[in-house]
Structure 1
Amino acid sequence: MAVKTPLSRDSNPLSEEQALREHINRALATEPPRGLEEKLIYRFSKLWFRPELHNTDRLPDRPCLFIGNHALFGLDGFVILPVLLEEHGRFLRPMGDKFLFSQPGVAKTLMRRGATMGHPEVARALMAHDQDILVFPGGAHEAVKPSRERYQLQWKERLGFIRLAAEFGYTIVPFGLVGPDEFYEYLLDSEQIVKLLKQFGFWSDNMRPDAVPPLLRGALGTVMPRPQASYLSFGEPLELPSPGARAPSVQKLKAWRSTVAERIDTEIADMLLRREQSRHTLGLLRRIASV
């Protein structure tokens, strides 16, 4: 009997309807974390990553679907989630790849922080209950992209997030995030590791290339992320029409998707420029720790 692993293409914790219903019920019952742990995470993020938020006046006063560029290893969550919760009272529900929830212990930790599986039925349940949702359409592939593709969206032809937003008339808030892609230095990227695994016969067809992490080095050669300042900027929200009897065409969905991507790219470019203009403000210790 074949053993399923998190790297397997057919690893699917949602294979049973009951498991999906239980996951949705747990997700809807999750409250915003407000304890000491959340305070410590917030303080660490503020001290180590020094996040700057821009254009927060664009945040609508209603539940939204937040869409942005995915950072290396999904570390964007350590910047976005605690800061928005603590400073703006927004409890974003990040939707992650299903394989992340294949281990009960990991799944429990993720769900306690508000994360859910990236499944259409889960998204529908969250939208029906007026939740702020965070989605990275690039998924796991974007989270392990090679260094040459930093700050480039990896969406391919995916339309799922736009289709769901249109189904509920959800407002989409595009954002660009700069900084987390450089928390670590690449020693070997995922493509190079996959190539080596194939070369030495350790690769099988049921393994997922987008689930193979790169080999990295952090602050002063440790596993600690480098203290890179982070810059988060929100683009102009995309207001979708109220749901109608007729679903929008594929052409319309693609046009909306292109609009969201263009607004994200604009914010990324602005934040890259702002970072360059702010480099002189970095302290000596921060520069040393980033080596």
Structure 2
Amino acid sequence: MEDVVLESGPDRLRRFFDQAKDLARPDGGPPRWFSPLECGSRLEKSPLLLYLPGIDGTGAGLTSHHKKLGKIFDIWCLHIPVMDRTSFRDLVKMVERTIISENYRSPNRPIYLVGESLGGCLALAVAARNPDIDLLLILANPATSFDKSQIEALSPFLELMPEQLPLSYTFTLSLMAGDPSKTFKASTENGLTPQLTVGELSKDLMTMSSYLSVLADILPKETFLWKLQMLKSASAYANSRIHAVKAETLLLTSGKDWFLPSQAEGARLHDALQRSQIRKFDDCGHYLFLEDDFDLVTIIKGVGFYRRGKCLDYISDYLPPTPAEYRKVYESSRLFDEIIGPVMLSTLEDGKIVRGLDGIPSEGPVLYVGCHMLLGLELYPLVTGFMNKRNILLRGIAHPMLFDKYKKGQTLEPKYFDNYRTMGAVPVSGTNLFKLLSSKSHVLLYPGGMREALHRKGEKYKLFWPEQSEFVRMAVKFGAKIVPFGTVGEDDIGEVFYDYDDQMKIPYFRNWIQQLTEGNGKVRSNATGEVAHQDVHLPWILPKVPGRLYFCFGKPIETAGRKQELKDREKCHELYLQIKSEVESCMAYLREKRESDPYRSIFSRLMYQATHNSASEIPTFEP
């Protein structure tokens, strides 16, 4: 996708008030939809996105996201005029009429309801009343917890306040601006001196004060009090119908919401809703969409929440990361990358092993088949290395637990897997492998799966492949090149000291492993042998002074033109065993050659970086 740079927090606030000022002009009209002009062209068969605003009612809350959202959605924003007094129930009926009409017009197209605060209650109410329509809800700090907010208790006193309600405007503006410490932190991280940082904060404060008059136009006293009453009825209405909501739901909650207890409410809704996911933003305030560095499209991608049909298609619905999104993924793993100093070797057509990825085919389909290291520690440097060196996106075949709803008791928060989904991981299945190869993708496959990634003591660099040649026939069908590869270095990073066998001896851990495994589903449940034992657990690892990680990609194996030959089951199995042998040979080669690497130790690499350009590649052994 084309890169779209989102504005900073102050710029977002300015854009919001610029548009809100135009929308706040009285015209006597009823609530209505508008489609932002800056959305531009979008993908074919893009789903409809209906934005339901918070108490400001302008419909301008997604202004800074319009350009990026507009590339993948057909966006309509609900505008509620300042002096309009349409009740919450009538707003529900209005949105309901729209989704019924649009569903009738495009029955195979899903409809997204993005609700913020009050709009979150509106989205839930509409979804509860229309369980048979294909809706996806994105709820940002929904106001279903309004009865627990401090302002609800203060609302009777607000009626006695002066007409201008300066305190309420200042409070509302502070909610929109978010945590000022984030601005200070961002300024210092950008290298500004304390004096310049204070100057920037003062400038922002002056700009903020100019927004008070616009806020007074958007929420005059009578309207503000009306919206508070609406919040009360909206919260009660939505809460009484949550049990009826069948729609897929993404909950976005803030840790510094001074208006509502959003994170506690998010946890409650997550438990109450049948098909929900949740993402927490601990440093953000009530108005999430105005927060600096908050990117709604990136979040939708990471959660795997974008589809254009009745069901999610992991291949046709996939949106590759933009350059900015990829930089975020890379930065999140950069420290690990620097610690392990990965070395990548590949094999040319003549069999010569060279440093770099020159031996990797440029055109797909290509199937990369390798051995998992402990906890899959090689994945980040492998995927980012391919992007950095060859601009190739590796689509990984992954365990279903990366795509299931998070369950209490899991070892990792669901957000941990978002980067894998952003980079194109798909659940393991024959159908997904078929689609990836048919689309000429570069596919990453580990036949040993979780059994290799969560291996026991003394099992490093041991393959646990199924007896059947599962992937060979599929590769042959599409004439894919197969690249066997090995990875070595886990024993230079850590050592398993309390493994699956040890944990199964303790009743507490045994029950925990059984619950996790049952909750996340089994892969190859019909298989026999070690590969079938893929129980979900977390081995305990003793860290070491970091060594180095090594990758070696073998010579690509051509399957094009071999369909007739490989129809024979024995010939197919022979190729399977050849690939397995090549993977083992790559690992044996690396284990031998790394002994002569003068920069295997992190200390020697740090010394090299201290005496050379930090961007220069650290040498290794001669291939």
TM-score, with structure 1 as normaliser: 0.78
Deviations 1:105-154 (A, max 9, x none): 45644311221111111111111211100000000001011131111111
* Counterpart mapping for 1:111-260 below 5 A: 111-180=421-490, 182-197=492-507, 207=518, 210=534, 211-218=536-543, 227-242=546-561, 244=563, 248-260=567-579
- After TM superposition, the structure 1 stretch with the greater mean CA deviation from structure 2, 52-61 or 139-148, is 52-61
SS at structure 2 position matched to 1:213: coil
Q: CA deviation at 1:238?
A: 1.0
Q: CA deviation at 1:61?
A: 2.2
- After TM superposition, the structure 1 stretch with the greater mean CA deviation from structure 2, 210-219 or 229-238, is 210-219
Cα distance in 1, alignment partners of residues 598 and 507 from structure 2 = 39
One-letter identity of the residue aligned with 1:259: Q
Cα distance in 1, alignment partners of residues 597 and 401 from structure 2 = 38
Q: What percentage of residue pairs aligned between the two structures are identical? A: 22
Q: CA deviation at 1:185?
A: 2.3
Deviations 1:195-238 (A, max 9, x none): 3348976675974652122112335xxxxxx6331111111111
* Counterpart mapping for 1:11-26 below 5 A: 21-26=312-317
1:85 corresponding residue in structure 2: 387
8 Å contact 1:32–1:91 — kept in the other structure?
no
Cα distance in 1, alignment partners of residues 601 and 565 from structure 2 = 53
1:95 corresponding residue in structure 2: 397
Distance change in 2, residues 1:243/1:234 (3 Å): same
2:581 corresponding residue in structure 1: 262
8 Å contact 1:42–1:86 — kept in the other structure?
no
8 Å contact 1:66–1:174 — kept in the other structure?
yes
The answer as to 2:320 corresponding to 1:30 is: yes
1:70 counterpart (368, 372, 382) = 372
After superposing on structure 2, the runs of 4+ consecutive aligned residues of structure 1 that deviate more than 6 Å are 198-203
SS at structure 2 position matched to 1:160: coil
Bigger CA radius of gyration? 2
Cα distance in 1, alignment partners of residues 585 and 576 from structure 2 = 14
Deviations 1:34-89 (A, max 9, x none): 54313424643441110111123321221210011111111111221111110121
- After TM superposition, the structure 1 stretch with the greater mean CA deviation from structure 2, 108-117 or 254-263, is 108-117
- After TM superposition, the structure 1 stretch with the greater mean CA deviation from structure 2, 246-255 or 70-79, is 246-255
Cα distance in 1, alignment partners of residues 543 and 508 from structure 2 = 27
- After TM superposition, the structure 1 stretch with the greater mean CA deviation from structure 2, 245-254 or 78-87, is 245-254
Cα distance in 2, alignment partners of residues 187 and 177 from structure 1 = 21
1:4 corresponding residue in structure 2: none
Distance change in 2, residues 1:246/1:34 (3 Å): farther
One-letter identity of the residue aligned with 2:372: H
8 Å contact 2:479–2:560 — kept in the other structure?
yes
2:594 counterpart (262, 275, 283) = 275
Cα distance in 2, alignment partners of residues 280 and 246 from structure 1 = 45
SS at structure 1 position matched to 2:597: helix
SS at structure 2 position matched to 1:126: helix
8 Å contact 1:71–1:180 — kept in the other structure?
yes
8 Å contact 1:124–1:164 — kept in the other structure?
yes
8 Å contact 1:178–1:271 — kept in the other structure?
yes
One-letter identity of the residue aligned with 1:30: P
2:344 corresponding residue in structure 1: 53
SS at structure 2 position matched to 1:65: strand
- After TM superposition, the structure 1 stretch with the greater mean CA deviation from structure 2, 141-150 or 243-252, is 243-252
- After TM superposition, the structure 1 stretch with the greater mean CA deviation from structure 2, 112-121 or 271-280, is 271-280
8 Å contact 2:398–2:428 — kept in the other structure?
yes
Cα distance in 1, alignment partners of residues 469 and 489 from structure 2 = 27
SS at structure 2 position matched to 1:173: strand
Paired residue total:
263
- After TM superposition, the structure 1 stretch with the greater mean CA deviation from structure 2, 269-278 or 104-113, is 104-113
SS at structure 2 position matched to 1:26: coil
- Aligned alpha-carbon RMSD (Å): 3.0
Distance change in 2, residues 1:193/1:89 (3 Å): same
- After TM superposition, the structure 1 stretch with the greater mean CA deviation from structure 2, 184-193 or 206-215, is 206-215
One-letter identity of the residue aligned with 2:494: Y
Which structure has more relative contact order (CA 8 Å, sep 6+)? It is 1
Cα distance in 1, alignment partners of residues 310 and 400 from structure 2 = 12
Cα distance in 1, alignment partners of residues 381 and 582 from structure 2 = 20
1:14 corresponding residue in structure 2: none
One-letter identity of the residue aligned with 1:147: K
8 Å contact 1:175–1:232 — kept in the other structure?
yes
Cα distance in 2, alignment partners of residues 215 and 249 from structure 1 = 44
Unpaired runs of 5+ residues, structure 1, are: 1-17, 220-225
Distance change in 2, residues 1:143/1:32 (3 Å): farther
Cα distance in 2, alignment partners of residues 184 and 20 from structure 1 = 41
8 Å contact 2:494–2:541 — kept in the other structure?
yes
SS at structure 1 position matched to 2:486: strand
Cα distance in 2, alignment partners of residues 90 and 263 from structure 1 = 23
Distance change in 2, residues 1:71/1:204 (3 Å): closer
Cα distance in 2, alignment partners of residues 173 and 245 from structure 1 = 21
Q: CA deviation at 1:158?
A: 3.6
Distance change in 2, residues 1:164/1:195 (3 Å): farther
Cα distance in 2, alignment partners of residues 160 and 19 from structure 1 = 29
- After TM superposition, the structure 1 stretch with the greater mean CA deviation from structure 2, 77-86 or 104-113, is 104-113
Cα distance in 1, alignment partners of residues 438 and 559 from structure 2 = 16
TM-score, with structure 2 as normaliser: 0.39
